Amino acid sequence: MSASQTNARALADTPVARVWLQRAGPWLVAAVIALAVPLFMHSSHALTMLSHMGVMVIFALSYNMLLGNTGLLSFGHAVYFGLGGYMAMHMLRYIEATGFGLPLELVPLVGAAGGLLFGLIFGAVSTRRAGVVFAMISLGIGELVSSSSLMFTGFFGGESGLYGNRTVPASLVGAEYSSGLSTYYLVAVWAFIAALAMYLLRKTPLGWMANAVRDNPERAQFVGYSPQMVRFFQFVLASFFAGLAGGLFIIVDEIITAETVGMVQSGVVLLSAYIGGILVFIGPVVGAILVVFLESELSAITNAWLLYFGLLFVAVVMFAPQGLAGLALQWYGAWRAGDWRGSVAARLYAAGSMLVAFLGLVAVIEMAYHLFQHWNPEQPMGLFMFTVNVTNALPWLLAFAVLAAGIAVFIFHARPVMQRAIHASGGDR
């Protein structure tokens, strides 16, 4: 009996309720978490951050339709996010001016339609080729739209952007969107619908063929499918969901500027998808939540937050190319298989040595920023639980000593101990 027949028989023998629970369970858990999180975070800042997380989840998942599902590396995906946001903002301003138009809950669909429209226009050109050529075309389109945003001020609003008021349109459900809580729940509902739709799209023939085009476009063409058309349809659908995210963004912030179509926004969504993991569906979700949290909270703590973003990205590329979510699933599978038996202490020892090195690196970076960026470098600075003067040599010697000690312990002792423990336990992860 083949493996497929065995799996089919096992599925047939499984109770229907259990199969339904296995498929719907994660979505129910996600819905419960999304509903419950605001109960523990009451401040307006926290609710706005949660709303931005929901927007970024949709945006990152739409980007992964290109990179993870179809193998298209785009450097200009913010174009469809931003243009969709501008279309939605113009609808919001039209409602303010005339009193007629869509209810607020449906305004994001205007952004989705804008993303779809520009996806059709630019996708017809850019998806003719894949690989480096596609990446360069996407970069060119991104720069074209970004530069145009300062030229066509009637549409883009110039450097100051466009403003709107989300409390003016009517509501389908009678909700009052003057508070951050109601706005968050609107974003959460749309994020859930969009994530479910993108997940189901992965299970369609188009989704499977997108994977085939990603892995071997010649073979896909040999069996009768056009790789260019598959890439085009995926591109258009990804632009649709990116525009939806842009429409939600203007509801949350009530302002949109040229930055939303720029390279920084395209870089942020790339980081979100890749750091979380592009080969698992939940990866961009994890990456989006992490990136928004770090961008919101880390930027309030240190001026070097962009440097830490870069270091995190480099670390993921070098040591966890499957992304954080992919790495967690790999570790979970290894634990279920018993590969961690007898090696937990050694793994924790290795992780601890790297944590020591990381603390030393943070100390060096923070002192360097204080020395070169602060108006008075001689002013003492707070570092962890201590107060140090960066113009003295002792703090630098201690920071570099901690950094060097952590790296040396990991390379010369912790890693060999971990490798021997893993080998003894019969694992290879």
* 157 assigned to some structural domain: yes
Q: Within this chain, do residues 94 and 129 fall inside the same structural domain, yes or no?
A: yes
Last residue of a domain, one of 258, 288, 321: 321
* 152 assigned to some structural domain: yes
The β-bridge relationship of strands 386-388 and 381-383 is: antiparallel
pLDDT along the chain (429 residues), means of 10: 50 62 82 90 89 97 96 95 96 92 94 97 93 94 92 90 91 87 95 96 93 90 90 97 97 94 93 93 95 89 87 89 90 79 85 94 93 88 90 94 95 90 67
Question: CATH number for the domain including 235?
Answer: 1.10.3470
Q: Within this chain, do residues 207 and 313 fall inside the same structural domain, yes or no?
A: yes
Q: Within this chain, do residues 152 and 271 fall inside the same structural domain, yes or no?
A: yes
Give the pLDDT confidence score for residue 3 in this predicted structure. 45
* 330 assigned to some structural domain: no
Q: Within this chain, do residues 141 and 274 fall inside the same structural domain, yes or no?
A: yes
Q: Within this chain, do residues 143 and 199 fall inside the same structural domain, yes or no?
A: yes
* 219 assigned to some structural domain: yes
Last residue of a domain, one of 40, 55, 70: 40
Q: Which two tokens stand for residue 100?
A: 């007629």
Q: Within this chain, do residues 76 and 150 fall inside the same structural domain, yes or no?
A: yes
Q: Within this chain, do residues 10 and 92 fall inside the same structural domain, yes or no?
A: no
* 332 assigned to some structural domain: no
* 17 assigned to some structural domain: yes
* 136 assigned to some structural domain: yes
Total domains present in the chain: 3
Q: Which range marks the domain in which residue 156 is found?
A: 45-321
Q: Within this chain, do residues 417 and 378 fall inside the same structural domain, yes or no?
A: yes
Q: Within this chain, do residues 200 and 249 fall inside the same structural domain, yes or no?
A: yes
pTM of the model: 0.90
Give the pLDDT confidence score for residue 1 in this predicted structure. 47
| CB distance 327 to 277 below 8 Å | yes
Q: Within this chain, do residues 167 and 203 fall inside the same structural domain, yes or no?
A: yes
* 327 assigned to some structural domain: no
Q: Within this chain, do residues 234 and 303 fall inside the same structural domain, yes or no?
A: yes
Q: Within this chain, do residues 21 and 106 fall inside the same structural domain, yes or no?
A: no
